[in-house]
Structure 1
Amino acid sequence: MKHLKLILVFAVVAIGVASYFLFFQKTEQISYLTINATRGNISQEVNATGEVGAIKLVTIGAQVSGQIDTLNVKLGQHVKKGDLIAQINSTTQQNNYDIEKAKLTSYQAQLEAAKIQLTTSQSQYEREQKLYTQKATSKASLEEAESTFASAKSAVAELESQIIQTQIAVNTAEVNLGYTKIVSSLDGTVVSVPVEQGQTLNAATSTPTIVQIADLSNMEILMEISEGDITKVAEGMTVTYSVLSDPDTEFTTTLKSLDPALTTLTNGSYEQGSSTDAAIYYYGRLEVPNAQGKLHIGMTTQNVIKIAHAQNVLVIPATAVHKRDNSEYVNVLNENNQQVEKIITTGLSDSINIEISSGLSEGDKVILSNMSAQDISNSVGSSSKPRMM
């Protein structure tokens, strides 16, 4: 009986173990999220915000003080080089010019009289010299004639010096008189008129601005390129840009230049040793035509700098690429639905997709992620549970 009971116990245990492995230890199923490696185009780009400005913009100011008698332009008016912009009251400048001119005329008349006196005294001195050699005059008479001649020469030299000084004063007064007429220095459009007719200007301490004139036929876009991207870009690269008022229309140009220093230094506000928390940007400059006048000073532009471009290359999502040591690899689902690791070589990346130079073939099922049945169940279960408030 004891042997029969022992056999029955072993039979029950065996049945239990078999049942456990049969019902509870099934092979865990894994679900894979995959994407096929396909061919396509990929571009590496740098995005930057820019501001529109005029390539030629001049500030025309007043170099003399006075009241604005006439203001001949208005905002938005097109002017030609040499056109009269404004007339400053010229009474003071005209009086100064007339005074210096009168002085010059007086000195010139005095010089003519002095030259006649010089000629007379020279003749007298030469005559006294001859008479003295003939012992027909005294030495005192000779010395007196010599002194008179020397004084006449000095008077002529002094008047000639005064005439030179006065001529300079006349020229200065004439220039100051000319400064009362404010004229345009280029062909362009009046973009700023910060003064009004009748306003009094004081040019003693600074140069008051009368108008600003810009050539709007060709514009400049200053792009702010971040410190992290500045080494990727270079002059001559293709740039597409659009304005906020028409974001669907893109224009294409080339990068004209890159400023050698950060924007704060270019703008004249850089302080060495300032906080490193501030973002660092560098200006990239574009020159673009504006024949239709759609671009206005101060507009914001969205710019895309084309760094590199590859066509008809093998492309997969960048998130599927893994790194280990000094190599890159992806996990691929083979024809037996088994996960296989493949070493790859990558090329261009646009942060979303990446070029595969070698290691994969078109159509390969690249694994993006995997999840077991239990993980799926837990995920669904946790998402359906009410949240504790």
Structure 2
Amino acid sequence: MKLKTAGGKRLLGMALAVAVLAVGLGLWTSGTSRPDIIYLSDAARRSAVRHVVNATGEVKAAQLVTVGAQVSGQIVKIHVRVGQMVNKGELIAEINATTQQNQLETDKALLQSYQERLESKKVSRRIAERQYRREKALRAREAASQEDLESAETAWALARAEVAELEALVRQTELAVNTDMENLGYTRITAPLAGTVVSVPVEEGQTVNAAQSTPTIAQIADLGSMEICLEISEGDIPAVRPGMAVSYTILGEPDVSAHAVLTSIDPGLTTLSDGTYESSSSSSSGSASSSSSSSGTAVYYYGKALVDNGDARLRIGMTVQAVIVTAEKADALTVPLLAVEDGPEGKIVQVLADNGGTEARRVVTGLSDGVRMEIVDGLREGEKVVAGRVTREEMDARTELKGPGPGGPH
């Protein structure tokens, strides 16, 4: 860094006062002994540059299952606790099975009764059939009356109807017994997958009512694979695609960065994904406050990334700060972002000349990381550009506020 002024040592102290605005930038003057404007400059140089989207999010289990009770009754035993590993099919809880057991026994007895009555009616049907055929043969020889034949035919038809009715009752009761056996099995609640018990919101002795809603007995998650669920703003979503690299940190370890790949982006905004979305058309048409509230609400979309959690570093509900890399170049010609201005025909930079003056030059820009901007065309490597300006009065004022250095005034 060079100061082309008479009081070089004093201005060096002044430059430190504006270093917050231009760390690493050079100071360039207009070439006079006491310039009115001092330029903060930097050279166009090769560096890595990438465009990123910042997002916050939450850690969720990639697979989380809520285990509910399908029958009503009192919980007599809970076999698991939060944090316990379980295998698929392992017993989680038991509900008092007295009601279900009694219903099963009742329907079994009813089934047996229907089956016995059915066998009896089948015998009666065979007898009625033989009687009818006998009367029919006798009638053919005019040895029996027409009335006897019709009576036998009616008895046979009635016997067939009774058998059909009992066969239907047997089938119906068999279905009831099967349902009773299923309900009895539901009193023993088992794990639908292998994983970790993350929630047990019920206690032994508590009564659950499956008739009104499905009571939650436990929640089981596979914590070996987690999902980073990021909220991406509406303005950033056009630049984000599945497959992009994601780096993230958690609040407990802000200096430890981990990496993942964006696997999906929800097609609807976050409230739609969460099931709380209400479109403007579904709200009252006369509610002006409702529409204004909706228009003033920021819109976000969920972007999701699956990550391995074999080290158990991530826990459900953790907050993550993430950076999604949308584009990057490893060896781009860059200048400070502050050096790029809007011109009448596009982007321009002020290039420092050897005589201390500046030249406005049109450039073609590329990627920006918020600090440096890629220059695709219009500059050569090493050319110095103006990244900021400070007046002599501002420099003097900053120096007066700062006071003399440790060695006293100069």
Fold shared per TM-score above 0.5: yes
SS of structure 2 residue aligned to 1:185: coil
1:324 matches 2:343: yes
Amino acid at match of 2:332: V
- 1:209-254 deviation digits (Å, cap 9, x = unpaired): 1111111111111001111111110011011112122222222111
1:155 counterpart residue number: 162
Amino acid at match of 2:203: E
* Structure 2: gaps (5+ residues): 1-32, 281-289, 404-410
Of 279-288 and 238-247, more deviation after overlay is shown by: 238-247
1:135 matches 2:154: no
- Cα pair 2:42 2:387 within 8 Å, conserved: yes
1:107 matches 2:114: yes
- 1:18-50 deviation digits (Å, cap 9, x = unpaired): xxxxxxxx9965433221222111110011111
Give the number of the structure whose alpha-carbon radius of gyration is greater: 1
2:303 counterpart residue number: 284
Amino acid at match of 1:200: T
- Cα pair 2:59 2:317 within 8 Å, conserved: yes
1:87 counterpart residue number: 94
Q: Displacement, 1:376? A: 4.6
What TM-score results when the alignment is normalised by the length of structure 1?
0.88
1:297 counterpart residue number: 316
SS of structure 2 residue aligned to 1:295: coil
Of 183-192 and 171-180, more deviation after overlay is shown by: 171-180
* Aligned equivalent of 2:202, options 191, 195, 207: 195
- Cα pair 2:251 2:319 within 8 Å, conserved: yes
- Cα pair 2:90 2:190 within 8 Å, conserved: yes
1:146 matches 2:153: yes
Q: Displacement, 1:265? A: 1.0
1:206 matches 2:225: no
2:269 counterpart residue number: 262
Q: Taking every aligned residue pair, what percent have the same amino acid on both sides? A: 48
- Cα pair 2:135 2:152 within 8 Å, conserved: yes
1:360 matches 2:379: yes
Of 301-310 and 200-209, more deviation after overlay is shown by: 200-209
* Aligned equivalent of 2:257, options 245, 250, 269: 250
Task: Identify if the C-alpha distance between structure 1 residues 27 and 242 changes in structure 2 by more than 3 Å, giving closer, same or farther.
Answer: closer
Question: How do residues 369-384 of structure 1 correspond to structure 2 at under 5 angstroms?
Answer: 369-371=388-390, 373=392, 376-377=395-396
* Structure 1: gaps (5+ residues): 1-25, 385-389
- 1:147-176 deviation digits (Å, cap 9, x = unpaired): 211111111111111112211221222221
Task: Identify if the C-alpha distance between structure 1 residues 363 and 200 changes in structure 2 by more than 3 Å, giving closer, same or farther.
Answer: same
- Cα pair 2:338 2:388 within 8 Å, conserved: no
2:127 counterpart residue number: 120
Q: Displacement, 1:383? A: 8.7
SS of structure 2 residue aligned to 1:298: coil
- Distance between the aligned counterparts of 2:227 and 2:383, measured in 1? 48
What TM-score results when the alignment is normalised by the length of structure 2?
0.83
Aligned residue-pair number? 359
- Distance between the aligned counterparts of 1:307 and 1:282, measured in 2? 16
Amino acid at match of 2:91: L
- 1:85-123 deviation digits (Å, cap 9, x = unpaired): 111111111111111111110110111111111111101
2:359 counterpart residue number: 340
Aligned-residue RMSD, C-alpha:
1.9
1:308 counterpart residue number: 327
